[in-house]
Structure 1
Amino acid sequence: MHLDVTKWNHVFKLDPDKELSDELLEQVCLSGTDAILVGGSTGVTFDNTVDLMARIRRYEVPCVLEISDQEAIAPGFDLFFIPMVLNARDPRWIVGNHQKALREYGAILDWSQVLTEGYVILNGESAAARVTQADTALDVKDVEAYARMADRLLRCPIFYIEYSGMFGDMALVARTRELVQSARIFYGGGIDSPEKARQAAEAAHTVVVGNALYEQPEQALATVEAVRAVRTAGQAS
């Protein structure tokens, strides 16, 4: 089991609020993906989070909780990702919820398991954008500034570009990858085919596939090999 996120090329993101059969979950966990990220924007509870985690735990794959609601914080995950939505208009999603969570759990946290994600949400129609009141009317310079903020000012190990529900601007993603020094660029949004996974893998460090699993599972599962092919070609060149 590899817990070094700098080595992750492909991640599946599972939503505790969505149904996933045992058969499909087994295919996901045995697909060769580098990790399973558990999280969602709405409907995430302690009970459905623990239930999904317990089902994933049957398999030898890193299991990570992306914390969007402190009520859903549950033990038993390998790592905990803390998203800071840098372009949120509601400051609770930048530092407010984090302060409340640390007030409650800060003294007992194992900080070796905690990683921060500098998040930028770019699809204004997504649930994530609505919940956080994200300012999605950003140009290239805006996103570059957020990338530098996450990478050099806040020292986040992950800069997550989230288009949630639509396939984004890969030239923009590639540009952020060029300018960061330490942060790993995660990209998520609209990856519903091997071809889009290949494009994303060429632009970002780590490709996150989520919604497609619930809508086009065969295509979603095929993204693992597509990303691996890009990385193998890159190592050979």
Structure 2
Amino acid sequence: MEGKLITHSILQCKHMFKLDPDKTISDAALKQLCLSGTDGIIVGGSSGVTFDNTASLLTRIRQYASLPCALEISNRDAVVPTFDYFFIPMVLNTTQIEWLIGQQLEAIKDYGQYIDWNTVIPEGYIILNEQSTAAQLTGALTDLSEHEILAYVTLIDQMMKLPICYIEYSGTYGDMTLLQRIAAQISHSKLFYGGGINSSEKANQARQFADTIVVGNVIYEDLQAALATVQ
């Protein structure tokens, strides 16, 4: 995975926690996450995300650490301008064009003149868990062959040259053999992996191939297991 372009410091993160504004987390738990040694925080969710709960969560994070924070935008009405970075997901395997370019185009029409493009990082998303809220919301085609998945990866990496290729299993631990093959094929994009990382062992497995692992659901299920993934 040599020779990748790094244009934003957040793309150098090896481990990131993903926090959902629509889920409850105590101040004590949030402090432990922020001081755990993780490289950065992503804030985002597939439903129930509002301006108020997003702004509130960012304010709480800032109390405990100066970690780089990215807002992964799923609702353009919930954009809080004080994040360090803004991840813009483009779901490649969606059946609904609004989740590929539609939502993004509307955001540019409404807010384009105010956007600091130096903070905007597009993500090429491939969602592979059909049971996830993200897959159902975007109408993602998840029953894909390895050949089809690798074709999407090539589209992200070589044709679109997006900074991030995000393999999203969302709550389910993915196929590490497939992740290895994806990693071997990528030469431009940074490879992000998220889904089912709920132990240090799984974190280590995924980190063999992904540039960045994203740990989310386990935060709300088993905080100590989430903290263990940092090591």
Structure 1 or 2: more helix by fraction: 1
**Structure 2 counterparts to residues 1-237 of structure 1, below 5 A:** 4-58=9-63, 59-225=65-231
Deviates more, 1:3-12 or 1:21-30: 3-12
TM-score by length of 1: 0.92
TM-fit CA distance, 1:203: 2.1
Distance, in Å, in 2 between the alignment partners of 1:85 and 1:143 is: 13
TM-fit CA distance, 1:202: 1.0
CA offset digits 1:99-141 (Å, max 9, x no partner): 0000011111000000000000000000000000000011111
Q: Which runs of 5+ in 2 are unaligned?
A: 1-7
TM-score by length of 2: 0.95
Preserved contact between residue 57 and residue 63 of structure 1 (Cα < 8 Å): no
Q: Which amino acid aligns with 1:170?
A: M
Q: Which SS does the other structure have where 2:94 is aligned?
A: coil
Preserved contact between residue 93 and residue 141 of structure 2 (Cα < 8 Å): yes
Q: Which amino acid aligns with 1:15?
A: D
- In the alignment, what sits opposite 2:5? none
Q: Which SS does the other structure have where 1:203 is aligned?
A: coil
CA offset digits 1:21-64 (Å, max 9, x no partner): 00010011111111100000010011100000111112211111
Q: Which amino acid aligns with 1:183?
A: S
Preserved contact between residue 140 and residue 172 of structure 1 (Cα < 8 Å): yes
Q: Which has the higher contact order (CA 8 A, sep 6+)?
A: 2
Distance, in Å, in 1 between the alignment partners of 2:160 and 2:28 is: 40
Q: Give the length in aligned residue pairs.
A: 223
Q: Which SS does the other structure have where 2:174 is aligned?
A: coil
Distance, in Å, in 2 between the alignment partners of 1:5 and 1:53 is: 16
Preserved contact between residue 84 and residue 116 of structure 1 (Cα < 8 Å): yes
